[in-house]
Chain A
Amino acid sequence: MADEGVKTTLLDELEKGPWPSFVKEIKKASETSPVCDDLLGQLELSYEEKKGHWKHGGIVGVMGYGGGVIGRYSDVPEKFPNVAHFHTLRVNHPAGWFYTSDALRTLCNIWERHGSGLTNMHGSTGDIIFLGTKTDELEPTFADLTKAGFDLGGSGSVMRTPSCCVGQARCEWACYDTMKLCYELTQTYQDELHRPAFPYKYKFKCAGCPNDCVASIARSDCSIIGTWKDDIQQDDAAVAEYAALGLDIQKDVCDNCPTKCMAWDGKKLTIDNHECVRCMHCINVMPKALRPGKERGATILIGAKAPIIQGALLSSVLIPFVPADELLETLKELTGRIWEFWSEYGKNRERVGELIQRVGMANFLDAIGLEPTPEMVAAPRDNPYIFFQKEDGKPKDGDGQ
């Protein structure tokens, strides 16, 4: 028991209060796993000293893979020998984070047998995180996982574990089958997921609609965001019902429309669909009355990342619309070309978004064979320093033949 061996005066403060406590979780795990006592001890020390006590990196893994395990060593192993090694395994989650109770128990059995019994459900990229085990246990954990049908996720300079929103499994707004696409991308690129061959990480995130519940536009090198081309599906009776129930259609819906493409005369809502930018606001407010159109697909965007190294970027439009049933093939073809260019020209630890900033979007488009379109920019350039290309100029008199 934790309270027999370890004194956790500071951490105990975090057992108080209404929100579920991670300290209680570590203590629960310590009832069956003695390593958690040492984790509590080291964490208490961090709380006393206001600094972390994990050493930098350490390359460990399972045979044949270059990712999926994060090596972690204590910098005070003499005090806390049970967490001298405390490696993390990233386990590729099922698309949409769906489980059965049996599947969860299988994962628990494996992790109680081989590790601390502590997890994250889930890690930032989406993986199931098994938190803390020794080097010797990595291969046996992996063997048990694969026997149960699970595999490791990505880490380091690989394609990271793709993730997606709940999509068509439980959302009427999903404009394509996000879970299917996510699963198929993951399976297509198993080699790229497990064996680092890129300048840096590459993330896919599949969001079913512009609400972007998986933050793909902020967090993925390749963001696939569902949208539609035809008119919003409109049920006038249901609109009237919302109005009767007290929704102020003018103020709450029309006035918040970014392109002001909607008009409400007190009885009938009229949408100028030609002006609609598919922002989702009106649909979010009246899900019973308005739905995305029927001609569905996705916008493909490129380049999002957090600040390290050259500053944070949001993804920007690469292909405005790809029909839902062509998404996988289009992405495979496009990704091949992007990876080829990035692998050739990307600097060490340069994300694809940073490469585009460095070489220019136009050169990037040339390299991957896409034509420029106005949907790709918020506005055309406002500076006149144009790199006119040689072949566009006329040879001077006497210059050539």
Chain B
Amino acid sequence: MTTTPAPAKRITDIGPPHYEKFLHPLIKKNYGQWKYHESVASGVLRHVAESGDEIYSVRAGSPRLLSTATIRLFADLAEKYCGGYLRFTSRNNVEFLLDDRAKIEPLKKELLALGFPVGGTNNAISNIVHTQGWVHCHSSATDASGIVKSVMDALHDRFTHEDLPAKLRIALACCLNMCGAVHCSDIAILGVHRMPPQISKETLPKVCEIPTLIASCPTGAIRSATYDGKPSVEVTEEQCMFCANCYTVCPAMPLNDPENDGISIWVGGKVSNARSAPKFSKLAIPFIPNNPPRWPEVVDAVVNIVNVYAKHARKYQRMGEWIERIGWPRFFELTGIPFTRYHIDDFRYAGTTYARSTHIRF
């Protein structure tokens, strides 16, 4: 028996470094003792502690996909302006933590000169949470970064100004796997397939476990079959809803199709409990073809929904709360989005989404 010599002193299972060593001294001192906060300017927050200490957070947008060169740049800026202390937000913004108010403007100026907009706080549109797309994913029905870039270019002023009725959160996932879990966003941009899997009959028996494959289909559309005397599967195409779960468990079932893949748009979800309960996003536009490099139809659709919302929603109303107030028929009327058969749910809990009252606005 041959054995490979184990490397000396292999370190494993240590978990992440303890956060405490990365905290600004002022944060460490006032940990759990914060009293209130306020907005100083768009993208700048002031948190005040019981002790009277103050910390300023300057938030800047980032493309999320960052080179080490840019991370080094952020490190340099943090050293220059705030003792080297910074953090990232749950929406992929970078935040510099300053204890000196006088340094806010010079930092903002430098960030802007370097191409990083300051904003994303309160009633602004924050950064778009998104997935890998064509940059790094095998199952994407569209790109992620390119659409995010194009949409944020168009909504740039909404990032740098806090002038919407409430916060507005946009997320993008490039397929139904939803690494970006976009299903509770004010606006969700979701990549979709529209063609059933193309079965690679030659490779399937070599690379897939057929029982697992059959079990993976939520509608039971996959059945066993033989092909050339070898075990394989067949798909009842009318039962396929293009979720691509079969492809996830079996590489021989690809759904990708350049002409039929594209984007759907969903609206009115939220995760916060403020005022109304958290809710799912609902379908607004079932399909827009992929149109790289800048997806102008997707950009226009998102900008239109944002503008109609900004014009009609009452103060503090999130997208979904506004739509619940005015009703879905009026949402489609105001946005000019056509209502189609695809808007009516036909999966597991479909009945709960039918209108079960005569409350109709005319």
- The A96-110 residues at the B interface (CB cut-off 8 A) are 96-105, 107-108
> Does B14 have its Cβ within 8 Å of any Cβ on chain A?
yes
Residues of A near any B CB (own CB < 8 A): 10-11, 13-14, 16-26, 28-29, 31-32, 39, 43, 46-47, 49-57, 63-65, 72, 86, 88, 92-105, 107-108, 111-112, 117-124, 126, 131-132, 139, 143, 146-147, 149-151, 163, 165-166, 168-172, 174, 177, 179, 183, 186-187, 190-191, 193-194, 210-219, 225, 252, 256-258, 278-281, 284-285, 287-288, 291, 306-312, 314, 347-349
* Residue contact A29 to B69, C-beta cutoff 8 Å: yes
Task: Give the complex CA separation of A43 and B135 in angstroms.
Answer: 6
Task: Give the complex CA separation of A146 and B64 in angstroms.
Answer: 24
* Residue contact B316 to A281, C-beta cutoff 8 Å: yes
Known: A18-B156, A19-B61, A150-B17. A307 touches B66 (CB 8 A): no
* Residue contact B12 to A64, C-beta cutoff 8 Å: yes
A-B contact pairs, 5 of them (CB 8 A): A28-B69, A50-B292, A98-B87, A121-B64, A172-B47
Task: Give the complex CA separation of A93 and B153 in angstroms.
Answer: 29
B31 vs chain A, min Cβ distance (A): 6
Task: Give the complex CA separation of A347 and B135 in angstroms.
Answer: 32
B193 vs chain A, min Cβ distance (A): 11
- The B307-355 residues at the A interface (CB cut-off 8 A) are 315-316, 347-349
Query: Of A16, A22, A53, A183, which is within 8 A of B16 by CB?
Result: A183
* Residue contact B258 to A51, C-beta cutoff 8 Å: yes
Chain B contact residue count (CB 8 A cutoff): 118
Report chain B residues within 8 Å CB of A291: 35-36
Task: Give the complex CA separation of A94 and B136 in angstroms.
Answer: 24
Report chain A residues within 8 Å CB of B11: 143, 146-147
Give A169's nearest chain B residue, CB to CB: B27
- The B62-90 residues at the A interface (CB cut-off 8 A) are 62-72, 74-76, 78-79, 84-90
Report chain B residues within 8 Å CB of A149: 14, 17
Interface string of B261-284 (1 = CB under 8 A from A): 100000001011111101010000
Query: Of A50, A193, A314, which is within 8 A of B290 by CB?
Result: A50
> Does B199 have its Cβ within 8 Å of any Cβ on chain A?
no
Give A131's nearest chain B residue, CB to CB: B136
Among B18, B67, B269: residue with most chain A CB under 10 A = B67
Report chain A residues within 8 Å CB of B258: 49-51
* Residue contact B19 to A96, C-beta cutoff 8 Å: yes
* Residue contact A20 to B19, C-beta cutoff 8 Å: no
